[in-house]
Amino acid sequence: MIHPDGGTSIEVDDRVAPGAPVPAGPVSPARADQPQPIQPWRIGDPGRAFTEVQPRFGDTLDTPDTVLDGGQLGPLAVYAASARGLAHRQVGTPRQDAYGLGLSEDGRWLVVTVADGVSAGRYSHRAAQLVARHATRQVGQLMSGREALLPQADWYGVFQHLSQLILAAGRQKLKLLPERVAEAMATTATILVCATDAKDDLRPVQVAWFGDSPAWLIEPNRNWRCLTDIKGFGQEVSSSAVAALPKLPEDPTKLSVREQMVPPQAVLLVMSDGVGDPLGDGSGQVGEALARAWSGEPASALDFAMQVGFGRKGFDDDRTVVGVWDPQGSWP
């Protein structure tokens, strides 16, 4: 079962107590006989572009502006949304993010993939779509029937295969010269695997990633814990260079793989840097607002998509988040 790509308004503002709902503008008296408009989600100052940009359609048959999913995968609740950022909406260029989600054939493992196409590549959205679809299916097949998580060598084989698929697509379908494929279609890839059932109040989780699309969990106390790396953390000088497929280190041990045991009450989240960058280390205003919103299962996929697309001044990249909740987990 694989989806290859595919609210209530709350504004968090410095002038109000955290968690207090604030209308986006003047409020007219409600009339019971008329539907009420849905207010956009804002965290702090959304910036003028959030309300003034008029989205331009791109090739919606190739890459829709927004995709979303929500429901049960095995015993887990999974919600996902991917939306064009303001920068792409303004000029009518494609959404370069993609996600995939599905179960292993035996239903024991959930697989989530988030891919973020590199902005400079004209066809990077194609690379992201390809990775989201094939990575989810391939890892699901590898995990079927397994008791334990994947070893490093298997993960490297997965990423090698994804790189080869990108190179083949660039050469055969887009007629690109081999040396030009990586420039034209490059993408990050973050793949999360977790057991659908928790044993002894713990759930095994494994993340393999290449690039800057992070995976996080929200702990029962609503603190954020990064399962990958926090972008720029510990670096004296920040860099705009992004590690991305189809380029891959020759040494398999250089591929990042991490395992954790997490409580069933924790919320697992895989996202592109369109959300990861404003989130930062999770301790600020964005982390507080999203932890409050996502501490419990979303009311609907539409609510979740509204929250993923929150307005925040200075952040106009594409937005993608896949979240996993255990309905059996109880919050304190």
Instruction: Report CA torsion sign: 310, 311, 315, 316.
Output: positive
In the chain, which residue ranges form alpha helices assigned H by DSSP?
A: 48-52, 86-91, 124-143, 152-172, 181-184, 273-279, 285-294, 301-308
Give me the pLDDT at residue 36, please: 64
Is 23 part of a structural domain of the chain? no
Q: How would you write the pLDDT of the chain (332 residues) with one tens digit per residue?
A: 444 444 333 333 333 333 333 334 343 455 556 776 677 899 999 999 998 999 998 777 789 999 999 999 999 999 999 999 999 999 999 999 999 999 999 999 999 999 999 999 999 999 999 999 999 999 999 999 999 999 999 999 999 999 999 999 999 989 999 889 999 999 999 999 999 999 889 999 999 999 999 999 999 999 999 999 998 765 444 445 789 999 999 999 999 999 999 999 999 999 999 999 999 999 999 999 999 999 999 999 999 999 999 999 999 999 999 999 999 875 54
* Contact of 102 with 4, CB cutoff 8 Å: no
Is 171 part of a structural domain of the chain? yes
Is 17 part of a structural domain of the chain? no
Contacts of 48 (CB under 8 A, 6+ apart): none
51 token code pair: 């309300």
* Contact of 260 with 227, CB cutoff 8 Å: yes
Q: Which amino acid is at 221?
A: N
Give me the pLDDT at residue 40, please: 87
Three-state secondary structure string covering 3-56: ECCCCCCCEECCCCCCCCCCCCCCCCCCCCCCCCCCCCCEECCCCHHHHHCCCC
Give me the pLDDT at residue 16, please: 34
Is 133 part of a structural domain of the chain? yes
Give me the pLDDT at residue 60, please: 75
Is 308 part of a structural domain of the chain? yes
- How far apart CA 92 and CA 57 sit, in angstroms, is 5
Q: Which residues form the domain of 320? A: 2-7+40-325
CA 46 and chain centroid, separation: 21
Is 25 part of a structural domain of the chain? no
Is 32 part of a structural domain of the chain? no
DSSP annotation string for 252-263: GGGSEEEEEEE-
What CATH number should be reported for the domain holding residue 58? 3.60.40.10
Can you tell me whether residue 66 is helix, strand or coil?
strand
Is 13 part of a structural domain of the chain? no
Give me the pLDDT at residue 59, please: 77
- How far apart CA 21 and CA 11 sit, in angstroms, is 6
What is the number of other CB atoms lying within 10 angstroms of the CB of residue 167?
18
Cis omega (within 30 of 0) for bond into 246? yes
Give me the pLDDT at residue 27, please: 39
233 token code pair: 């953390």
Residue whose tokens read 């255990």: 326
168 token code pair: 């083949």
Give me the pLDDT at residue 213, please: 97
- How far apart CA 277 and CA 233 sit, in angstroms, is 11
| Count of domains for the chain | 1
187 token code pair: 């993408």
- How far apart CA 273 and CA 276 sit, in angstroms, is 4
253 token code pair: 């041990």
Give me the pLDDT at residue 37, please: 65
